[in-house]
């Protein structure tokens, strides 16, 4: 790929890939579900497309918890963006970090010294976890948005068991064998169930000095019940199923403090080796880039065509956008919403730029909401119809395999799931030197920060 070395004002360099033909330029920021779907819909149209992402791969985030619990490897749920889009000659990929948007000049600022001009801009930058004003907790209670997060959590769980194996005192063993998940949404429920299965099923014969089946998994939810987006009937089923798997589910239990190795709830200090944050998300900083007022979750308000009002040529989709359905209800932050918005916007922009067709309003078609609780147990809410148990689990597996990018990934994940179901074994249980160093560094930094905080009070 040839990059123009044309220097712009303020010392920035134009990073636009050399155009194949003189066509309108659509820039997409973010290679997640929405951004990738938009790029695919614009593929092979008479439009120049540039997709920018800080990573060179598309990550299937709904299965990231299985990387964190040693069921899958990162390569199983990630696919290079260039590979996905290589058949579209009009689509270019730029790996870079967006630092802002110059709305007046219609430029996306990349890094400290680059920019890419646009005719239409699509923001699909996703979301990050919301610590509700306690950002210092992030260093000891990672969320689950990146491969690095998943590897860190996996290393923490496995290293905790290894440390417990080295001591003969049961009281010293237990904290190393305790995992706390904060947040009773779908991610929290899936993480809790997966960690319980890992310790009680996959690892129960691997150690000699400890019994992994006695490991504690605690799920904390501040509200009155877990899985609030689901009907109460399904939430009760998930609650019972988790407790049957050995998970301690505590509702109406808001977290008061998190420090290295402990979680404080209602005055009770819970020692834990692994702490996972799954208690809410907020949008990326796209609203500040555009200098527009966001909603309480940091999302950019958009109209029925997903356009940002007062910012000509700018659109937002997925977790970045505060969009509503036909009845005015906010659309949830789900992969299916982002995919549908990306496909719609790509097709609509192609029609507008090629033939001047006005953008129609976006219509979301719900495919149901799902969550997996554990082995052969899942929930599916289709609105008027509800499923739970093994039938829902099979449907959940089929849907997620279908949504994976590439036949190779679908086949590989299907085979691994079948083998794990047959043997109760998780295959990715290696702690690399890199993960050991990374986890030690994070723990040391968090401990120092906590000590500094105590000294200042």
pLDDT at 455: 39
Please, which residues have CB within 8 angstroms of residue 420's CB and are 6 or more apart in sequence?
71, 426, 427
What are the distances in angstroms from CA 318 to CA 82, 324, 350? 21, 12, 19
- At 238, phi and psi to the nearest 5? -60, -40
User: Are the C-beta atoms of residues 378 and 238 closer than 8 Å to each other?
Assistant: no
Cite the beta strand spans of 55-186 per DSSP E. 57-59, 78-80, 91-95, 98-102, 107-110, 114-117, 120-123, 127-129, 178-182
Measured over the CA atoms of residue 432, residue 435, residue 440 and residue 441, the dihedral's sign is: positive
CA terminus-to-terminus distance, the chain: 55
Other CB atoms within 10 Å distance of the CB of residue 389: 15
Provide the residue-wise pLDDT of the chain in tens; the chain has 457 residues.
333 333 444 568 888 886 656 789 999 999 999 999 999 999 999 999 999 999 999 999 999 999 999 889 999 999 999 999 999 999 999 999 999 999 999 999 999 899 999 999 999 999 999 999 899 999 999 999 999 999 999 999 999 999 999 998 989 999 999 999 999 999 999 999 999 999 988 887 889 999 999 999 999 999 999 999 999 999 999 999 999 999 999 999 999 999 999 999 999 999 999 999 999 889 999 999 999 999 999 999 999 999 999 999 999 999 999 999 888 889 998 999 999 999 999 999 999 999 999 999 999 998 889 999 988 899 999 887 899 999 999 999 999 998 888 888 999 899 989 888 888 776 666 776 555 545 554 455 445 545 444 433 3
The whole-angstrom separation of Cα 117 and Cα 109 is 9
Catalytic residues: 190
How many degrees, rounded to 5, is the angle at CA 59 between CA 378 and CA 352?
Answer: 105
The whole-angstrom separation of Cα 253 and Cα 225 is 10
pLDDT at 154: 93
Please, which residues have CB within 8 angstroms of residue 64's CB and are 6 or more apart in sequence?
77, 144, 145, 146, 147, 149, 150
Angle in degrees, 0-180, between the axes of helices 390-403 and 407-423, rounded to the nearest 10: 150
Number of H helices, E strands in the chain: 12, 25
Measured over the CA atoms of residue 127, residue 297, residue 183 and residue 437, the dihedral's sign is: positive
332-335: long-range pairs with CB below 8 Å, 24+: 332/229, 332/369, 333/127, 333/281, 334/369, 335/33, 335/61, 335/62, 335/403
pLDDT at 2: 33
**413, 417, 419, 420: CA torsion to nearest 10:** 130
pLDDT at 43: 94
What are the distances in angstroms from CA 441 to CA 47, 92, 163, 438? 46, 37, 17, 5
What order do you get walking across the sheet with 216-220 strand by strand?
Answer: 247-250, 216-220, 178-182, 274-277
Question: In the numeric block, which tokens belong to residue 42?
Answer: 């614009």
Question: In the numeric block, which tokens belong to residue 10?
Answer: 């303020």
């Amino acid at each position: 790929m040839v990059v123009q070395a044309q220097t712009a004002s303020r010392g920035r360099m134009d990073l636009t890939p050399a155009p194949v033909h003189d066509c309108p330029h659509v820039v997409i920021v973010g290679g997640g579900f929405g951004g990738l779907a938009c790029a695919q819909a614009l593929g092979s149209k008479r439009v120049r497309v540039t997709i920018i992402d800080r990573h060179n791969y598309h990550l299937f985030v709904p299965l990231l918890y299985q990387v964190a619990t040693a069921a899958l490897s990162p390569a199983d749920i990630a696919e290079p963006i260039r590979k996905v889009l290589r058949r579209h000659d009009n689509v270019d990929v730029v790996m870079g970090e967006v630092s802002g948007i110059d709305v007046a000049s219609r430029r996306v600022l990349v890094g400290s010294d680059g920019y890419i001009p646009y005719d239409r801009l699509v923001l699909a930058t996703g979301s990050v976890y919301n610590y509700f004003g306690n950002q210092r907790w992030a260093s000891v209670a990672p969320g689950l948005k990146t491969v690095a997060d998943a590897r860190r959590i996996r290393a923490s769980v496995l290293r905790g068991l290894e440390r417990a194996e080295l001591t003969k005192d049961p009281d010293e063993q237990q904290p190393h064998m305790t995992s706390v998940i904060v947040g009773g949404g779908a991610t929290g429920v899936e993480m809790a169930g997966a960690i319980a299965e890992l310790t009680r099923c996959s690892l129960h014969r691997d150690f000699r000095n400890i019994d992994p089946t006695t490991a504690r998994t605690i799920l904390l939810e501040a509200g009155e019940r877990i899985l609030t987006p689901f009907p109460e009937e399904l939430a009760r089923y998930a609650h019972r199923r988790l407790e049957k798997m050995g998970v301690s589910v505590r509702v109406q239990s808001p977290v008061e403090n998190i420090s290295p190795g402990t979680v404080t709830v209602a005055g009770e200090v819970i020692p834990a080796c692994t702490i996972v944050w799954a208690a809410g998300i907020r949008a990326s900083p796209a609203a500040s880039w555009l200098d527009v007022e966001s909603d309480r979750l940091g999302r950019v308000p958009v109209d029925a065509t997903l356009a940002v009002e007062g910012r000509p040529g700018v659109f937002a989709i997925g977790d970045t956008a505060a969009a509503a359905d036909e009845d005015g209800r906010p659309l949830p932050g789900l992969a299916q919403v982002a995919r549908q918005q990306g496909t719609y916007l790509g097709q609509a922009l192609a029609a507008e730029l090629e033939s001047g067709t006005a953008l129609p309003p976006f219509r979301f078609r719900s495919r149901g909401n799902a969550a997996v609780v554990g082995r052969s147990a899942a929930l599916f809410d289709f609105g008027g119809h509800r499923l739970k148990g093994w039938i829902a689990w099979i449907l959940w597996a089929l849907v997620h395999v279908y949504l994976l990018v590439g036949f190779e990934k679908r086949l590989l994940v299907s085979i691994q799931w079948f083998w794990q179901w047959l043997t109760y074994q998780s295959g990715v249980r290696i702690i690399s030197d890199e993960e050991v160093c990374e986890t030690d560094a994070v723990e040391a930094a968090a401990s120092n920060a906590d000590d500094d905080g105590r000294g200042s009070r």
